[in-house]
Amino acid sequence: MEARSASAAAATLEEAASVPELLARGRSLCTPPLRAAVARLAAPMDTVAAYHFGWIDRDGKPVAGDGGKAVRPALALLSAQAVGAPAETGVPGGVSVELVHNFSLLHDDLMDGDETRRHRATAWTVFGPAQAILVGDALATLGTEVLLDAAVTGGASAADAARAVRLITTATRKLIDGQAKDVAFEAREAVTVEECLDMEGGKTGALLAAASAIGAVLAGADDRVSDALQRYGHHLGLAFQAVDDLLGIWGATEVTGKPHWGDLRQRKKSLPVAAALAEGGSASRRLAEQLADPEGRGEESEQVLAARAALIEEAGGRAWTQAEARRQHTTALAALDEVPMTDAVRRHFVALAEFVVVRER
């Protein structure tokens, strides 16, 4: 890394002092190449993808939306800076993780039968299941192509681009493993807390781990640094998912953009449920009985679901999950101590973690 680039990066970083600014920087640097990658898709997939990303409405008219918080691109840029490279070095990594993230959203929404996301109709409900499957497949493919392109355009060495491909590919497979377990768990009466954490580590932790290290890998970081940054992202993902599980039960639809009681209706074995089932007291046993009962599955009234949420809380599932989110958050921050980085970069990793975890307190 040249001294000139490193100081330019530091200057950029000082400008991006707050979380909203870090997120905005991730979006402004990554969205143009993200759009360029999506534009490679043949019609009608380019339209379906643009709708899914929130760039156009269902009639093809441009929309002023920003396509989500874009935490992953922000992390990817920051991880390049963690090893003294300019934020720009992380851009192909930020684009790649965003493509893979949205591949998984397209397929998950279809598999889960979710009809809304980010307060909009999901792509499969607008364009049909086949297009949601195909566009998801295509985004995953683009996620690899943009990293290989980085070696062609000189943004990374061929060896580092290949390492980044390995990072994103393995993360993608773990993500799919996690989703497969999530689906399989719905049909089971109970899962242990350990099984749930393993599933969530795949579903959410794997891609956040990749996002938190991919910029560093593109900048030539060694495995020790990459592993520590991945650990930060992994535990951050588990903290995020714990909060998401809480919102999935007790969050208002206006906040989550998802249907009320959706997780309970689908009998998702999320952390609060697993923790409540493990507790073993009277509320815990009543919850287990309800979940073992095939009667009325998926057709429970709001009242029944509200009573179930109360049982989970009574059995300690809510409090345990809140504590677990804090534990994972702390573990994530501890991993940062293993990587030598400037105080400014460290402060921003800490701030992004806080932003990801603190959504509903």
Nearest approach in angstroms of CB 333 to a second copy is 29
Long-range contacts of 31-34 (CB under 8 A, 24+ apart): 31/67, 33/91, 33/92, 33/95, 33/146, 34/95, 34/98, 34/99
Cα–Cα distances in angstroms (integers) from residue 149 to residues 12, 41, 47, 174, in the given order: 24, 16, 23, 24
162 interacts with a second copy by CB under 8 A? yes
Q: How far is CA 139 from CA 23, 74, 143, 218, 345, in A?
A: 22, 19, 6, 20, 30
> Taking contact as CB under 8 A, which single stretch among the options 19-27, 52-60, 161-169, 306-314 is the one that binds a second copy?
161-169
CB-CB neighbours of 316 under 10 Å:
18
The nearest distance, CB 133 to a second copy, in angstroms, is 6
The secondary structure of 80-103 as a DSSP string is: HHHTT--GGGGHHHHHHHHHHHHH
- Chain positions 10 to 39 lying near a second copy, rule: CB under 8 A, are none
Residue 319 CB, nearest approach to a second copy (Å): 30
First-to-last C-alpha distance (Å) of the chain: 41
**Is 95 near a second copy (CB under 8 A)?**
no
For 85, phi then psi, to 5°, come to -90, 160
Complex with a second copy: residue 40 or 224, whichever CB lies closer: 40
- 3-class secondary-structure state, position 116: strand
**Smallest distance from the beta carbon of 51 to a second copy, in angstroms?**
14
Examine residue 255 and tell whether it contacts a second copy (CB under 8 A): no
Integer Cα distance of 229 and 221 in angstroms: 10
Q: Which of residues 277-336 bind a second copy (CB under 8 A)?
A: none
Q: Please, what is the minimum distance in Å from the beta carbon of residue 199 to a second copy?
A: 9
- Which string of x and - marks every residue 170-209 that binds a second copy (by CB under 8 A)? x-xx--xx-xxx-xx-----------------x-------
Using rule CB under 8 A, residue 117 touches a second copy: no
Report the C-alpha dihedral over residues 176, 178, 183, 185, rounded to 10 degrees. 160
Instruction: Based on the shown chain and the rule CB under 8 A, indicate whether residue 91 belongs to the binding site for a second copy.
Output: no
Shortest Å, Cβ 189 to a second copy: 17
Count of beta carbons in the 10 Å neighbourhood of residue 337: 10
In degrees and rounded to multiples of 5, residue 244 shows phi and psi of: -60, -40
Q: Is 40 in the site for a second copy (CB under 8 A)?
A: yes
Q: Which of these, 108, 113, 102, lies nearest to 142 by C-alpha position?
A: 102
| Options 164-172, 188-196, 255-263, 280-288: segment touching a second copy (CB under 8 A) | 164-172
Out of 19, 30, 45, 97, the residue judged to bind a second copy by CB under 8 A = 45
Residue from 23, 80, 91, 134 in contact with a second copy (CB under 8 A): 134
Number of shown-chain residues binding a second copy (CB under 8 A): 44
State the Cα–Cα distance between residues 269 and 284, nearest whole angstrom.
14
**Other beta carbons within 10 Å of 279:** 18
Segment contacting a second copy (CB under 8 A): 13-21, 72-80, 132-140, 206-214?
132-140
What residues make contact with a second copy under the rule CB under 8 A? 40-45, 103, 107, 110-111, 129-131, 133-138, 140-142, 144-145, 148, 151, 158-159, 161-162, 165-166, 169-170, 172-173, 176-177, 179-181, 183-184, 202
